[in-house]
């Protein structure tokens, strides 16, 4: 439902931009495009941060391998 509302809203804004002078309409369109681009990069940065937190560190992986080796040797 929210997607349909956004589609209608941007259609109205696009129709409105056609009636403005090119300099003003272009500036508004550039601002909308640049804002969406920055917001998308912000979301990708947050997703990257969350993935990095969820992954094990190199030290944890080395410790896990070491523990496996100890179990295999069985002194």
pLDDT tens figures, 16-69: 888 889 888 888 888 888 988 999 999 999 999 999 888 888 888 888 888 888
User: Which structural domain range is residue 26 located in?
Assistant: 2-73
Q: How many domains does the chain have?
A: 1
- Can you tell me the distance from the alpha carbon of 10 to that of 65, in angstroms, rounded to the nearest whole number? 54
- Can you tell me the distance from the alpha carbon of 1 to that of 3, in angstroms, rounded to the nearest whole number? 5
DSSP assignment, residue 61?
H
pTM over 0.75: no
């Amino acid at each position: 439902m929210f997607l349909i509302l956004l589609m209608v809203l941007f259609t109205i804004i696009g129709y409105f931009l056609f009636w403005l002078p090119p300099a003003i309409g272009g500036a508004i369109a550039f601002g909308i495009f640049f804002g969406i681009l920055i917001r998308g990069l912000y979301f990708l940065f947050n997703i990257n941060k969350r993935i990095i937190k969820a992954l094990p560190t190199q030290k944890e992986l080395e410790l896990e391998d070491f523990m496996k080796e100890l179990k295999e040797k069985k002194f």
